[in-house]
Amino acid sequence: MPQALVMLGDAFASLMTVATLFNVAWATLLGIVIGALPGLTATMGVALMTTLTYRMQPDAAIQILICIYVGAIFGGSRSAILLNIPGTPASACSTLDGYPLARRGEAGRAMGISTSGSWLGTLVGTAMVALLTPTLGEMALSFGSYEFFWIALFGIVIAGTLSGGDALKGYIAGFLGLFVSTIGQETNHAYARYAFGDPDLAGGISLLPALVGAFGVAEVLQVMRGPRMQPVAATVDSVIPRLADVTRYWRTILRSGLIGTFIGALPGLGEDIAAWTSYAAARRASKERELYGHGSVEGLMSAETGESACVPGAIIPVLTLAVPGSAPAAVLLAAMMIHGLNPGPMLIVTAPHFIYRVVAMLVLADMAKLVFGLLLVRPLLWILLVPRERLMPVVFVLCCVGAYAIASRQFDMRVMLVFGLIGFVLRDLKFPVAPLILGLVLGDLLDKNLLRGLTLTAGDVSPFFTRPVSAVLCAITLGSVLLSVPAVRARAARLLAR
C-alpha cells in the first residue's frame, strides 16, 4: 500500500504541468461538445482523436482520449435535459427525469444535479480502479495461452449483449470482426491469409482506419440520409447544484457508483446498461418512486452517477485483461496497443506506474468536467443550435485526414471507406457496430494464443478444457451464449424465482 501511494503521488506530480493541464481542458471540453451533439457518440469521438494523437507521446495521447471519453459520456446529458434528445445512448435514461425538470423551469437545477452526480460517479469508479486493478492484474499473471484464448473468445461472445436485444446479431458482427482480424500474415510462419496476392492485404487490416470508417464515416452516411433535425433554443436558470440535493441522496450516489463500476468491468455491457440498471435499483429502493419519470431528482442523480462510474469501470478489464468493458473502451484499448503500452496481465510487471497514471488522468478529467459542467452551460447551448448536417462534412474531412496520416497509404483510405459502408449497412439492418470492432481488436489475442497453445501441446486441445481456470472461463462463455437465448433465459428466471 505505501508503494502504491508513492506511485499515485508520482503520477499526479508528473501530470501537473502546463501542457498536460491545457490538454485536459481542451480535450474534456471537446468531449462534452461531442457528447452534447446528437449523432456524435463517445466511441466516434475517441476513434477520431486516436488518429489525431497518433504521433504524440503515449501519456499525452492517452490523457486526451480519456478526457474525450469522460467528457462525451457526461455531455450527452446536456441535450437530454434541454431538448429531450439523448446526445449519446448512455444519456437516454437521463431524459426520463431531466427533461420534465426542465419543462418545470428547473433546467439549471437538473444540469447541476447531473453534473454533481456525474462527478461523484467518476470519483467512485476511479477509486475502484486504484483498488482493484493491481489485485486483478496480479491474479491474471497466472494465466497462460489457454486462459487468454477463452478471455478473448468471451469478450467476443459477450459482445452479443451490445446488440440491444438480438444477441445473434451481436455474435454475427463480433465474429465478422474476428474474421477480418485474420486477414494478413499469420503470426508464427508469416503465411499470408485471405490476401489473394494483394501485398496491401497481406500486410493486414490496420485498426485505426477500420475504427474511423466504422464509427465516423458510417455516422456521416447515417446522418446525411436521415431527416433534418430542427434546432431548438433553450434557456436555463442557475446551474450551481444544491448541497441538499447531494447530501440527501448520498446512499443513491454510492449505490449507483458501485453498480456502474461493476457493470463497466463486465465486458460488453457499457454505460447505457449502467445508467438503466442504476436507475432501476434506485427506483426500487426509493420512498418517492411515484416521482420517477416525472421529474425525480433522485432518478436523474442515479442515472448520471451510474453511467459516469461505468467509464472507469470499463477501463479496469482493459488494463488487467486487455478486454474492453464498453465500445469506447475498445477504442481506448486499441489506442494503447498502437502506442506500444500493451495492456493486460503483464502491464503490472512491465509498467505498474501506468495504472496509477490512468487513475490520475481520470481524476483530472473529472475535475475539468465539473468546472465546465457548472460554468459553461450557456455558451454550450449555442452549439446545440448547429444542425448536424453542417457538422458532418467537417467530421468526414477529419476521418480522411486521420486515416491517411497514420501511414500515408491510399490503401488505408480505401479500408476506411469500406468499413464506413459496412458500418452503414450494419446499422441499417439493426446490427451493432461495436462487436465488429471488438472482434477486430481481440482477434489477434485469440489467434496468437490458440496457435501458441496448440504448439505447446503438439495439437492436443484438452488443456483448453481441463485446466481449472480454462474450464471456468469455458463454462462462463458457454453460459453467456445459452443465457442469450430467450427461452433459456426465461427458464432460468423461473427457476430463480422459486
Could you tell me the pLDDT band of residue 232, with boundaries at 50, 70 and 90? very low
% of the chain at pLDDT higher than 70 = 86
Range of the domain at 75: 2-489
Instruction: Examine residue 183 and state whether it is found in any structural domain, yes or no.
Output: yes
Cross-strand pairs, 193? 184
Q: HSE of 203 in the Cβ direction (CA atoms, 13 Å)? A: 9
Instruction: Label each residue of the chain as H, E or C.
Output: CHHHHHHHHHHHHHHCCHHHHHHHHHHHHHHHHHHHCCCCCHHHHHHHHHHHCCCCCHHHHHHHHHHHHHHHHHHHHHHHHHHCCCCCHHHHHHHHHHHHHHHCCCHHHHHHHHHHHHHHHHHHHHHHHHHHHHHHHHHHCCCCHHHHHHHHHHHHHHHHHHHCCCHHHHHHHHHHHHHHHCCEECCCCCCEECCCCCHHHHCCCCHHHHHHHHHHHHHHHHHHHCCCCCCCCCCCCCCCCCHHHHHHCHHHHHHHHHHHHHHHHCCCCCHHHHHHHHHHHHHHHCCCHHHCCCCCHHHHHHHHHHHHHHHHHHHHHHHHHCCCCCHHHHHHHHHHHHCCCCCCCCHHHHCHHHHHHHHHHHHHHHHHHHHHHHHCHHHHHHHCCCCHHHHHHHHHHHHHHHHHHHHCCHHHHHHHHHHHHHHHHHHHCCCCCHHHHHHHHHHHHHHHHHHHHHHHCCCCCCHHHHCHHHHHHHHHHHHHHHHCCHHHHHHHHHHHHC
Could you tell me the pLDDT band of residue 268, with boundaries at 50, 70 and 90? low
Residue 192 backbone dihedrals phi, psi, to 5 degrees: -80, 120
Instruction: Examine residue 497 and state whether it is found in any structural domain, yes or no.
Output: no
Instruction: Examine residue 327 and state whether it is found in any structural domain, yes or no.
Output: yes
**Average model confidence (pLDDT) for the chain?**
80
For 274-282, what is the mean pLDDT? 83
Instruction: Examine residue 25 and state whether it is found in any structural domain, yes or no.
Output: yes
Instruction: Examine residue 495 and state whether it is found in any structural domain, yes or no.
Output: no
For 303-324, what is the mean pLDDT? 86
Residue range 393-425, pLDDT digits in tens: 877 887 787 677 666 788 888 888 999 899 889
Instruction: Examine residue 356 and state whether it is found in any structural domain, yes or no.
Output: yes
% of the chain at pLDDT higher than 90 = 7
Could you tell me the pLDDT band of residue 383, with boundaries at 50, 70 and 90? low
Instruction: Examine residue 13 and state whether it is found in any structural domain, yes or no.
Output: yes
Residue range 253-265, pLDDT digits in tens: 888 889 888 888 8
Number of domains in the chain: 1
Instruction: Examine residue 383 and state whether it is found in any structural domain, yes or no.
Output: yes
Q: Whose CA is closest to 323, among 437, 436, 442, 215? A: 442
Name residues whose C-beta falls within 8 Å of residue 404's C-beta, 6 or more positions apart in sequence.
410, 412, 413
What cell numbers appear for 91 in the block? 444519456
pLDDT (0 to 100) of residue 230 = 45
